[in-house]
Homo-oligomer: A and B are copies of this chain.
């Protein structure tokens, strides 16, 4: 893992890193990050490691809970080259969207292929992060990712025992059911009640599939892009409850 840049603002240190082909960001408290819990963040489709929805929540996790937070560009996203096969699938997706055809099957195929590449990348990234003295191998680890972040995060969490709590949501395809059924850690699952891209029953079925004893569904009125701001606070408290160190006070 190579750090390539470092900036600091509002009590948060931001470091760019690379690990092989993977490009990522690590946010840490300006003071007191040592052996703090770590939250991994997976961005949405077509977005990247520093999209506003990632950056805002990352800062909140750092300043509200004192956590370290890492995000990586998914294969073909952000600072990474996009393979021709991905280009073709994305073109097919846009075509279906423009034609008003169902995009579900294309998304499923795309996410499945993406997860096959992204899961080992996340595991290698986690190995490298745990070698950093300020993180270490002992601390609890959370995963946050909705939409495409869920498409990658569910298969990752299913095979990665180091992840002990996760926020998922705004996605629901049957190809994830089997992986969800292997997950037993606490889950907070977001759903947009009037999502124009995710069928309600499909989202409810994915929530139902998790084997976790503690799981909470937060379904909010509104469309795919209308996830309310207060859900960022809720995720902060969720991770504070499950990863939190004594004495931390979530925002």
Contact = CB atoms under 8 A, between A and B. Distances in A.
A223 to B, nearest CB: 12
A170 to B, nearest CB: 14
A129 to B, nearest CB: 28
What secondary structure prevails in chain A residues at the interface with B? Answer: mixed
A218 B221 contact: no
A216 interface: yes
A217 B208 CA distance: 15
Interface residues of A, number: 21
A173 B193 CA distance: 20
B214 A221 contact: yes
B216 A219 contact: yes
Contact of A217 (B193, B213, B234): B193
20 contacts: A191-B217, A193-B208, A193-B215, A193-B217, A207-B219, A214-B220, A214-B221, A214-B228, A215-B220, A215-B221, A216-B218, A216-B219, A216-B220, A216-B221, A216-B228, A217-B218, A217-B220, A219-B219, A230-B237, A230-B241
Contacts of A130: none
Nearest to A204: B204
Interface string A192-228: 0100000000001001100011111111110000001
A218 B234 CA distance: 11
A204 B191 CA distance: 13
Nearest to A191: B217
A239 to B, nearest CB: 13
A199 to B, nearest CB: 14
A152 B193 CA distance: 25
Contacts of A218: 216-218
A215 B226 CA distance: 12
Given A219-B219, A230-B237, A234-B234, 16 more contacts: A191-B217, A193-B208, A212-B221, A213-B221, A214-B228, A215-B221, A216-B218, A216-B219, A216-B220, A216-B221, A216-B228, A217-B217, A217-B219, A218-B218, A230-B241, A233-B237
Nearest to A216: B220
Contacts of A212: 221
A158 to B, nearest CB: 18
A58 B38 CA distance: 35
Nearest to A230: B241
A193 B208 CA distance: 8
